Every structure is written in structure tokens, then in C-alpha cells.
Structure 1
């Protein structure tokens, strides 16, 4: 049975989509903006701008000083943050419901008027911040660049998902103030944004306040750029391809990466369910085999991402235990992946995954901020926020044959790139 929570959706004349989900269980409101711009929307030679703007948007606007966005919210007991992915950048606040106007004013000021305050000094300062972030999170953190290596192995150089979210430091160094202004104008526009409010609000009042603060946001005359759509078939071959990465890491770690269907593809949910059968639960096959029986790993996990450009990354990660080899572990992972496509999964496997998925999904939706993010995602990617209430029905509808068929398509023996980090002294 589908969830049936009250939900109102409205589109302003300028194209801004507004989703309001009233919930009076607590006197708080979550404010969430999904902007359809991520690293997958960047142009060659200008990578990293999507993530750079996640930083720039907190550096002040015409009426808000640097650092004031956070301090204003903290003064009323609120919080704020932002994230950037392959497909979107989102900005979010949680605060007392009575301070809704504060959050809407802060968001409208930077979304509408940031370019008026964005100068060379701010650009240079935040560019330096991103360079330091790359050093800390990617270059000097064990396994920090693993996901980027998987992207490079899975996607050709001209694919929107080939480069990392943080981008090329050379590209960032070459980016001019004019480039930054043009990027904001091109992507930060009302018809490219979904604003979601979840919490103790009256929909009619909330929509009126949104119209007050965002109604003057002009839709540019230039047509909205189409979202990247670059579907790919599974990788082909007779066997996985292996890549060894000597690095300053504490132990060997294996990444078995593969292409997976995009979020809107009919194979996405079945393959994601199949991955949970393999690596999503304490009773999953890889956990039972590698961790409990063979004791060849210290831990194993897997994930099928849902992305919007018609294809997604998927991967299994395992830390190799002493006395075992990375090749042994990788071969076992590939063997179990391929086995799902050949032999399928059992009814008990499917029931366990569906029950655990329902528990974790409902637990996530119990939080105002996570529910707002989910609604923003479904409104942006699926075109319908109401589809979030139907998602569990889709998971429950997945059959054993659906999983076997999807796995047989995407998990053939040659569909995998194996990236192994090997400890190297003084790396």
C-alpha cells in the first residue's frame, strides 16, 4: 500500500517548482532546494564549478555578509548545509517553523542576487578552499580517490560522469570571474530549481511566503539546457579488468566496479535489490561467504547508485584480511555477482531485503530534513514528488525473475573493473 501523506505542489509563473508537505508533529520546518546542476552538467575544461558554487553560495550576497547565512540561522536554533553530486546541488536548512521567512529570505537573496556580490577576491578565496579540500579529502586520505578512479574506469573521457565531483584543479585555476558569473546565470534559475518545505506550515501560507521571496526571480530568455542523457551498455569482455594502485593505505582494499542502469530504467530497482541480497544485510551472501565462512575480508559492502543520465556507477568494496589475496577476494565477488544472473535469488532473500528496505526507508522519511530531500529528488529526477510515496510499492513489486534478468544483463563476467589499493611504504 502506498504512503498517503498530504502534499501540495505548485509552480510559480517563473518556473520555480514548490513542494509543501505539512507535518505538525514538531514546531520545525525543513527547507530544501534542489538545483539541477552537478558535475555531470559541466563543460570540458570547466570542471569543478558546480562544487565550487556550493562554497560560493555561503560567501555572502548583496544583503548578507560573509558567514551571516550560518550565524543568522544559528541565532534562532537552526542549521544549514549543502552537497554536490553528479546530478544536482542541494541547499538545506532546518529551523523553528516560526523562522520560515528567515530561511526563505536567505535563500532567495543568494539564488537571485549572488552575482552582484561575487567578486574576484571571493572567487580566489574559495578556489583556494577547494584546493585544500581536495588535498585533505582526496589526495591525503586513504582510498580518497577511489570513486574517481572507478568513474574513470567505467565511463569514457567524453561522458559526463567521467570526471570527479570536485573537478580538475587546473580547470579551477583557469576559471575566470566571468566563467563563474556565466555558470551561475546558466544553472541557478527558477525553472531549474525545486524548493521543498516539510514541517509545521500551512501550505497556503507557505506558498504565499515563497511567492513573496522568490516571485521576482526572473526566468532567463535563454532556453534551459537539457539534462545530460548519456546511457551506456554494460562493459564487455571475457573477464574483469584489474588495476593496482600502490598507495599509503593501511590494508589492501578491493573495489569491484560496474556500470548500472540509470534511476529511471526498469532494471534499476531489481539490480539494487540484487545488490542488497549480495551485500546489503548481515545475512547477505558476500557477508556470509567472505566474512563469516572464508574469513578473507574484514568487511564488505555494495551499492548501486541511482543517477539521472541514463547510467549509474555500481560497486562492491571489501577490505582484504591478512593471509588472503586481493585477487582471491575479487574473484569471489565477481563469482557471486555473476551467479545472481545465472541462478537468481530465493524468495527468502527477496523477502529479507524488501523488509529491511521498508524499515530503512520509513525510518529516513520520519525525519523532516530527509523527507524534504527525498521529495526534492523525486520532483527533480522523476518529475513527480508523489512518486516518493510510491517507491516502496516498486520495491515490493520486484520479483525473483526481475532480479535474475537484470543481473544477467549487467553482471556478466567481463562487466567489471577491479581497482585494488595496495599498501606502499612512503607512498
Structure 2
């Protein structure tokens, strides 16, 4: 690594582009094969830090603005404000209209979002490289020109949206409140980590628009922000643009680093709560540890892997493999001010939470007797190296790392230091942190109880939160003033586009083996990684002849992840972790898929393990019985989740109970109970074949290098597998409402759908229908999302679109809607569908769609997974090499008349199944007024 540190005093940057206020304070370049993200770091007079990373491998750019403010900067009784404010930052500013931020980025062919955690809030966009200046204009406008555009109406709509987000992700989800109960019992009252980022509903109701404005003025100054830009850019050009748009924004109040004493527990704390949605109780145990970047971080991460991650972990061996627990895991989390070491245990029926608590303590004693081994350290280091390398596949991944490092340490160049820290972990380090933070140390134990079931907590609640001895700090909100930048240019003018980037579709090679195996690949040497996917015909469709044993293909995939003749599942996991490799087996609609990810240097050893897994499975009764029991318990959990219920039952309504496409590939409790170990062996004997097997290879490896390494596939039996074609879906005579009752559900899950029969076609009517639907339900600025989320605040998000494969296709609207708005929302959904079918797309919407989709190519082929998906579709659907060119021609020539005809043909609101999963008591009276026939179903989708 070559690193130049430039003295801070009076060093200015001059370029051939003119004078800039920015000071170049650091430049890091890559040297040799070291793991480093090259960058230049600048500081502006207003305190803004700029980090630029040049990566010319793809014609894209990623922009990230990270503000050093998260929920840890909030006041007691005003929780959730940082996240709420993140929503407000998308609602327009002086020169960017309402709902225009998403629209401008989408029209540029880009993607965008924001996120808030305990310690920071960030906003980011990935766009074609010709759109950089426009992105900087957008971000600068909301940094310096937000408040006059904030209105009470926008405030109320976004407050409602955030409430829906809490309902969807916390209140309406099994175990969604475990973190909330843990935090308030672990940290002292008033500690900034004692509440979740989402906040409490009562606190959200308490704040007003003036609180929001103060929050902006206190924390959203350029001096509390890091602007990180990476991709196909030149640093000198970036500095000039940033200077123009951000340089004149006044600095905000000074922001000091928060320092708090470490959390100390005087004794074990037990707390419990009843979860309305959980069907299985769980036990959560959390120990306080250290903040991020602490010297013990690496050793604690290694300890978490040994105790609670993977089949070779202590908890898995002591609790899961012997069927005492359905799951048992441990993980270590580090934040800016504190860290946590947590365990989560789900008992098999018959084992109490008190038993889980006792078994957990016994497992720690087993670990103490076993100790830390050389193999533990070796596999930990192998996994960490692969994790860091794989995280650098995308420019967004690299930018995110640089932004976080600078925000929390002031040094973007931390990746090598962190990796060195992990590589230097010793057995003694791991043993020391276990003794220092876990062994005989008090922790917070949360018992999650299930409603209506005789479940007792692990121990009686014994802790009362002390709210008396708290003194609120001075957050510095007094006397804040809003001062806007003074410019020598017109900010109201949206910057134009640079020259369109030249997008290169990944070149690929194809090879058909004599055995019938078809291989496709594309080489990419940006990172020394290789990804391989092998799909063997079978899967869910193979069960169509005997639907009494649906779930068999999934069970076969699970068993292929277990023991082989040479290795136990635990031994296989160890060998893969040492290599930093990953092999998983899963079922698909029409196959069993073997998925591989590894470092190039370890390809040979990884493929040896894949060959063993594929050709020498050892299907044992112990593994089968355990997996069968876990699957049966899993059905209970799925039936507690409204979204899972809706997604399963809508297929049954659309395709019928006798159609394989209407049956969940997970099966049902009755079908899984019928499975036997012989069924698994018979499936393996009957469906392992070379004919129709498809292989996708992506990464730092050529055709000539990989083909000899895949020669073992020739050992697959050469036999023809005939998968049945699914039966046609039943016709829908008229639109009806199907209602499933989930008492006290905070939201109603919507599915409005029908079977179109439109199979996937990259250049046919399926592709054109997708273009047509973009304005209705295919983007953030689509009609359904703007109506239900941005205008009404009834949902966290709404979407509608076509889905298709080789066998069939359907159209579906989906969303989670606030319960008390269910009837009104359904009226709006059906109104939008009917209006679009009758009147079609507007000229403005057509132009927006063409602009958005026409520029997306720059973002489509960056990562290994994206390239694999691209070439995989070519192989699966036998697409011509130039199909993307054909798509672009179709896009460019699509007229309003053609789009309107497609809408009228394929969107049929008078013949759809409406499925609503929610609280019947709340929503039925309103639905009865709408005039639809209402049919009540149980949670399995059967008529009551």
C-alpha cells in the first residue's frame, strides 16, 4: 500500500479544472495483491469530508452521504426520530419537488434508498456514470435547502408510513419485539441504545414538525457528514462538482463524539412477554461486551462462531442435533457505543424454556472442557478472508465500507487493519474473551411466550427498570438558526446528463457435454472469486404425480446438506470454512440446485467436496428424523405470519388445490409426515441425471480452466427425466374477496391476483407487459405506491407486476396495509387497476418508463450474482446472444397505443382473486359495504 498523508495546514488542491476549496488530506493506492480500497480524501472549509474511490470496471457510480446521527442521538421520549427523519429527507426540498427524488433517480436508470441504525443515517444512489452531477445536486439540495419544503401534511403522511413500517417489521411479525425487550432491560434507562431505531408509537405521536426542524438543524450540517463517491469517475472532476453544490452550505453546530461508560450488570436479569404471532416459544440471552473496533472484536467474533454458528458449533451439537432444540445460535454484534453477545434458542415441543436455560449452561461447560482448537481458528480465518473479498464485488460495497470507516474512525483505510486483526486471533485470545465476557457473567434473558399456550418463562421476571435516577443531557437544540447557502449559480436548474455510458453485456461461452450437461460461463478477474451453480432436473414439479408427498424435493435438498460417506455434516462444514468456501443444496420449481462460492485459489479443493456431496450422500435415519421434526415445527411458525399465509394461499386460490403450482413446495404437515427415508433415497436414485443438467460458472476462471475441473459431472447417470407440465389454472368467473382471520393483526396482507398464463419471454409479450406495468406498480413512483404510501400513508410499500417462468405466469398486487384502512385501501387498489386497464398509460409515464429502463443496463452486470443471473437466463430459456439489443429496440419503439392495448388485455380487475389476511373483527364490517362476495378461509386456505 502506498499512502500519502498531506499536512492539514494550508494545503489546497489545484487542478486543471480550476481552484477548489477542498484540501486533499490523504491518498491511498493499492500495491501488489494487498486487500485495500484505493481512495482520495478531502476536507472542505464547512467541515464536509469527501472520499473518492475510482473504479473503472463498470460504467456506474455510487454516491453515499452518511450523517453521524442515528437513534443514539435521540432524546428520551422522542425515540424513532432519526429514522422518521430519514423518511422526511425524501419528501422534497427547495429545488426538488414532492415525490421527485425517487422519480429523478429512477428516470436516470438508478436505484436509491436510505437507512438508519443506532449510530448513523445514510442516503445513497447507484446510477450510470453520466448521472453523477444530478445526484450531487439532489443530495446537496436536501442537505442545505430542506426545511422550507417541510409541511405539516408531509409530516403526518410520513409519520403514518413509519407506523406502518413498525407494524410490518416489528409488531406484526413473530419475535419482532425481542430486540426491544432486550434493549430496555440491558441498558440503563435513558441510554441511547435502550430503545430500537424504529422507536415507540407513543413517542412518534408525541413529536411535531418543529421537533423535526430542530433535529435537522442540529445534526444535518456538512461538518457531521461524509460524502463518499465511488465508481467510474475521476477524482478531480468529483471535487469540482462537490465544491459547486456542497461547498457553500454553512457548517452546522459542532458534534462531539459520544462516550459512555461500559454497561455493567450486577446480576442476571430475567424478563418475559407474550408474542401474539409466535407459535413457538424462544429464549434469548444477551451479554454486554465491547464497542466496534475494540481490540477484542475479532476474538469475540471467533467465539460466536465456535459457540453458535453452523453445524459444528457447540450449541448445534449439544441442542439441535440431539433434537432438544429446533434451533440454537449465537452471534456477536458491535456498535459505536457498546457491543452485545447474544444467543437465541427455540425448544422442541416438550422442552420448557427453563430446560433450554439449563441446557445452554451445560453447553458452555462442554465448551470449557473441549477448549478452543487450532481448527476453530483456521476455519474462522478462512471464512473472514472470503467474507471481506466477496464484500468488495460491487462499487456500492466498497463505498459503504469507506463511508462507515471514516464516519466512526476518521480513517477510511481500515479494511486491511481489520483483516489483520482477524488474522491475528489466537486460541488464547478466544479463551480470554470467553472468560472475560461470558463465563459466569450476568446476562439479560428474555422468554418469549406464546399466546394461548401453557408456556412458562425460564425464570420469573426479576428486574424493574429504574426511571428515577436519570438526567437528560443537553442535546444543543436551543438557539438553532436556519441559514441557507449563497450561490453564484441557479440551483433551481436540474443538471443535465453527461454522455451516455457504453455498456458492455458480459461476454460468455457455452459448452454442451456429450452426457447432456449444458454449461455456460463468463470470466471476470476483478476479484479472485468463483461462483458455480448446478441445476439437476426434478424439484417441485417432480412431485406432481403423487401430491400426497409434497415436500419431498425440499427434504432431499436438506438431506444432501447433511452427511456424506466420507464426511459428517460437521466435518464437511469445517473443511469448507477453512477454505472460505460455501456449498448449499436447495430445491427449485423444476430442479435440485447445488450452489458453490469460493476463492479461486481453493477451487480444486472445493469441487472435490462438491463431488463428495453430490455423489456420495449418506442418508441417515437420525438426520431424516431431525429434519422432519424441524419441518413440522416450522409449519406452526409459518402459520403465525400473515405475509407467509397470504403468499401460500394465493397460489392455492389461483391454481387450485389439485394443481402442483397451487401447492407449496414446503408441503403440508400431513404430506411431510408421510415422507420416509426410503422416499429420499428413491428420489435420489431416480432423478440424478446428466440430461438437462445446467451449469453456470462466473468469476475469475476461464473456460479452459474450469471444464477439466467439472469432468466429475460425467459420472451423472445419462437418463431422460420427463417432468410433467402443470395443468391449466381454473378460470375466475368474477372477483371475490377471500378472508383469513388473524386476530389483532396490526396490518392486513393484500394479494390481488390472477393467472395470466404469460410465460417468461425476454423479447415477447411478457417483456412488453412488464414495460406497460412499470407506471402502475413497478417502481417507487408507480401509481399504487404513490397513492397508498406517499399520499395516504396506509402502507410501507405497495407493488404490482407480472411474474412468469417456463410453465405459466401471473399478475399480482401485494402490500401490507394498516388494518383500519383495509376497506378504503381495497377501493383505491381496484380503482387504480380499473383506471389503468381502461385508460392506459400517460405520455409522461411512458417517457419516464423508457428513460428509467433504458438506462438500467449500466447497473445490471456488475456483481458475480448479476452476471450469473444474466447468463443463467440465456441457458435456461435458450436466448440469443443479442437479446438485450432486441429488448432495447422494443423499449424504444413501444407506443402509448401498444401499451394501452396490453393493459386492456392483461389487467382484468373484474376477474381476480382478492385475498386479505388480517383481523376479521376490524376489517370485515367495512369490506361488507363494498359489494363483493366474501368467502372466509382458514389459515390453510380451506373454506370454513
- Say which SS state the counterpart of residue 10 (structure 1) adopts: strand
2:430 is aligned to 403
1:380 is aligned to 407
Aligned equivalent of 2:214, options 182, 203, 210:
182
Structure 2 CA distance for partners of 1:190 and 1:344, relative to 1, 3 Å: farther
Question: 1:223 and 2:254 equivalent?
Answer: yes
Structure 2 CA distance for partners of 1:134 and 1:298, relative to 1, 3 Å: same
Higher relative contact order (CA 8 A, sep 6+): 1
2:376 is aligned to 349
Per-residue CA deviation, residues 55-106 of structure 1 (Å, 9 max, x unaligned), is 1011111121222111111112211111111111111111111111121111
Equivalent pair of 1:112/1:217 in contact (CA under 8 Å)? yes
Q: Whole-Å Cα distance in 2 between the matches of residues 198 and 337 of structure 1?
A: 45
Structure 2 CA distance for partners of 1:198 and 1:176, relative to 1, 3 Å: same
Question: 1:264 and 2:287 equivalent?
Answer: no
Equivalent pair of 1:242/1:418 in contact (CA under 8 Å)? yes
1:297 is aligned to 325
After TM superposition, give the deviation of residue 167 of structure 1 in Å. Answer: 1.6
- Say which SS state the counterpart of residue 190 (structure 2) adopts: coil
Question: 1:360 and 2:387 equivalent?
Answer: yes
After TM superposition, give the deviation of residue 192 of structure 1 in Å. Answer: 0.6
Question: 1:142 and 2:174 equivalent?
Answer: yes
Structure 2 CA distance for partners of 1:7 and 1:419, relative to 1, 3 Å: same
Superposed, which structure 2 residues align to 1:228-239 within 5 Å?
Answer: 228-237=258-267
2:855 is aligned to none
1:6 is aligned to 38
After TM superposition, give the deviation of residue 182 of structure 1 in Å. Answer: 0.8
Q: Whole-Å Cα distance in 2 between the matches of residues 164 and 350 of structure 1?
A: 34
1:389 is aligned to 416
Which moves more between the two structures, 2-11 or 194-203? 2-11
- Say which SS state the counterpart of residue 365 (structure 1) adopts: coil
Equivalent pair of 2:318/2:363 in contact (CA under 8 Å)? no
Q: Whole-Å Cα distance in 2 between the matches of residues 208 and 259 of structure 1?
A: 46
Q: Whole-Å Cα distance in 1 between the matches of residues 412 and 378 of structure 2?
A: 27
Which moves more between the two structures, 294-303 or 71-80? 294-303
Equivalent pair of 1:62/1:117 in contact (CA under 8 Å)? yes
After TM superposition, give the deviation of residue 234 of structure 1 in Å. Answer: 4.3
- Say which SS state the counterpart of residue 283 (structure 1) adopts: coil
Q: Whole-Å Cα distance in 1 between the matches of residues 34 and 436 of structure 2?
A: 29
Question: 1:214 and 2:238 equivalent?
Answer: no
Equivalent pair of 2:79/2:204 in contact (CA under 8 Å)? yes
Superposed, which structure 2 residues align to 1:64-83 within 5 Å?
Answer: 64-83=96-115
- Say which SS state the counterpart of residue 227 (structure 1) adopts: coil
Superposed, which structure 2 residues align to 1:10-409 within 5 Å?
Answer: 10-220=42-252, 222-224=253-255, 226-237=256-267, 240-248=268-276, 249-292=278-321, 294-309=322-337, 311-337=338-364, 344-409=371-436
Q: Unaligned stretches of 5+ in structure 1?
A: none
After TM superposition, give the deviation of residue 169 of structure 1 in Å. Answer: 2.4
- Say which SS state the counterpart of residue 217 (structure 2) adopts: helix
After TM superposition, give the deviation of residue 233 of structure 1 in Å. Answer: 4.2
Q: Whole-Å Cα distance in 1 between the matches of residues 433 and 449 of structure 2?
A: 32
Which moves more between the two structures, 150-159 or 163-172? 163-172
Structure 2 CA distance for partners of 1:159 and 1:341, relative to 1, 3 Å: farther
Structure 2 CA distance for partners of 1:266 and 1:142, relative to 1, 3 Å: same
- Say which SS state the counterpart of residue 87 (structure 2) adopts: helix
Structure 2 CA distance for partners of 1:246 and 1:178, relative to 1, 3 Å: closer
Larger radius of gyration between Structure 1 and Structure 2: 2
After TM superposition, give the deviation of residue 140 of structure 1 in Å. Answer: 1.7
Q: Whole-Å Cα distance in 2 between the matches of residues 330 and 2 of structure 1?
A: 45
Equivalent pair of 2:52/2:228 in contact (CA under 8 Å)? yes
Per-residue CA deviation, residues 172-214 of structure 1 (Å, 9 max, x unaligned), is 2221222111100100011111111121111121222222221
Q: Give me the TM-score of the superposition, normalised by structure 2.
A: 0.43
After TM superposition, give the deviation of residue 159 of structure 1 in Å. Answer: 1.1
- Say which SS state the counterpart of residue 319 (structure 1) adopts: strand
After TM superposition, give the deviation of residue 274 of structure 1 in Å. Answer: 0.9
CA RMSD of aligned residues (A): 2.0
Superposed, which structure 2 residues align to 1:411-426 within 5 Å?
Answer: 411-425=438-452
Q: Whole-Å Cα distance in 2 between the matches of residues 18 and 339 of structure 1?
A: 50
Q: Whole-Å Cα distance in 1 between the matches of residues 214 and 72 of structure 2?
A: 17
Structure 2 CA distance for partners of 1:394 and 1:341, relative to 1, 3 Å: farther
Structure 2 CA distance for partners of 1:371 and 1:409, relative to 1, 3 Å: same
